[in-house]
Amino acid sequence: MSSTNLVGLSSSELQTLAVALGASAYRGRQLATWIYRKGVFDLDVMSDLPREFREALAAQGRIELPAVDVVTPSLDGSQKIVFRLGDDSRISSVLMPDDDRLTLCLSTQVGCGFACAFCLTGTMGLERNLTTSEIVGQLLVANRVAADIGPTLPGRITHIVFMGMGEPLANLASLTSAIRIFTDAKMGLGYSPRRITVSTVGLVSGIDRLARADLKVNLAVSLHAATDEVRSRLMPVNTSWNLEALMAAVKRYPLQPRQRIFFEYVMLHEINDSQQDARQLARLLRGIRAKVNLIPFNDWAGSRFHRPPLATILKFQSVLLEAGVTTTVRWSKGEDIGAACGQLKEPVPA
């Protein structure tokens, strides 16, 4: 019988496990504190847990984290972490420093099955979903990597974005379990939901289920076009849920005061970058508390797309700003190491 990975279990699940092993629920709370609050992954070091309880845990459970395969630094200060999982699959996370902020871009799947035309990750296809322990493990290990790198990074990870490999809402059960551990203020990792962003290609059913989960995290929608004709060419998902259905789901998503929906818009030369495209985008977002992040295309070998000239990008932004849409140009970090938006790809096992 395979043992249970303690990483990825919530504090309540660890309490249930403790009781099942003949200890009190309190011991489960202590265990959660050691793993998530103190970042200790060796049962022998958990000195305030009775020896008998630790032995029982070791017999039925384990603490297993994704193994770091390689850490690659970027000229802009970012760090790409390639993890090797238990089945030899490889995934990527990216540490992105910005002044006193340190953001971790997390993966939720090995590969991605949505095949967006401009995205290198989509060329992998979908291998499998990540487990809750593999998602949580990325953050636990990345915090250690950040500490080991030292003063070039601003300490502990402060923000989390689910924008790495895979479609987060296609792995909703593991995603929501991981987020609940991240936001558990007493025995979890204690992150504010406002510092966590979940990105989606536009899975309407997933957006509605995420809303019902009441996690209060930020929602980012990969939009990339303001008409169904262009979006369907770029993103096959649009044939299942068109812009009308997507915008309706976005309007249903509950927002906290001062919270906005983020719209990611990869700018592709002579595809979606005209001023007419910008005007259509402004009309599409009318009535939505929105912020648009314009992402100049990050090139990769074999792609047929190109980044627009800077003047074109700035004119596009100006049209949106004049229409009252908050808009920023987001220059992706890690482009020189294949860690920028849309560039993540790792070989899957044969």
Domain 67-337 has CATH 3.20.20.70: yes
Burial class (CB in 10 A: 0-12, 13-18, 19+), 201: buried
Give the E-state strand segments of 2-150 in sequence order: 4-5, 61-62, 67-73, 79-84, 90-98, 101-105, 109-112, 125-129
Mean pLDDT per block of 10 residues along the chain (350 residues) reads: 87 97 96 96 95 95 95 90 95 92 96 91 91 98 90 83 96 98 95 97 98 97 97 96 98 95 97 98 97 91 91 98 96 56 52
What are the tokens at 252? Answer: 């249903």
Domain boundaries, the chain: 4-62, 67-337
51: Cβ contacts below 8 Å, ≥ 6 apart? none
Q: Which two tokens stand for residue 31?
A: 């265990």
Distance CA 159, CA 196 (A): 6
CA neighbours within 13 Å on the CB side: how many for 329? 17
Q: How much is the pLDDT for 335?
A: 57
User: Is residue 291 a contact partner of residue 260, using CB atoms and an 8 Å limit?
Assistant: yes
Tokens encoding 71: 């850490």
Please give the Cα distance from 336 to 320 (Å, whole number): 29
**What's the number of CA atoms in the CB half-sphere (13 Å) around residue 147?**
8
Q: Strand pairing partners for 265?
A: 294
Q: Which two tokens stand for residue 100?
A: 């006193």
> Are residues 320 and 329 in contact, defined by beta-carbon separation less than 8 angstroms?
no
The CB density around residue 3, as the number of other CB atoms within 10 Å, is 12
Going by C-beta distance under 8 Å and a sequence separation of 6 or more, which residues neighbour residue 276? none
4-62 is a CATH 3.20.20.70 domain: no
Could you say which DSSP state residue 345 is in? Answer: -
Q: Identify the pLDDT of residue 230.
A: 97
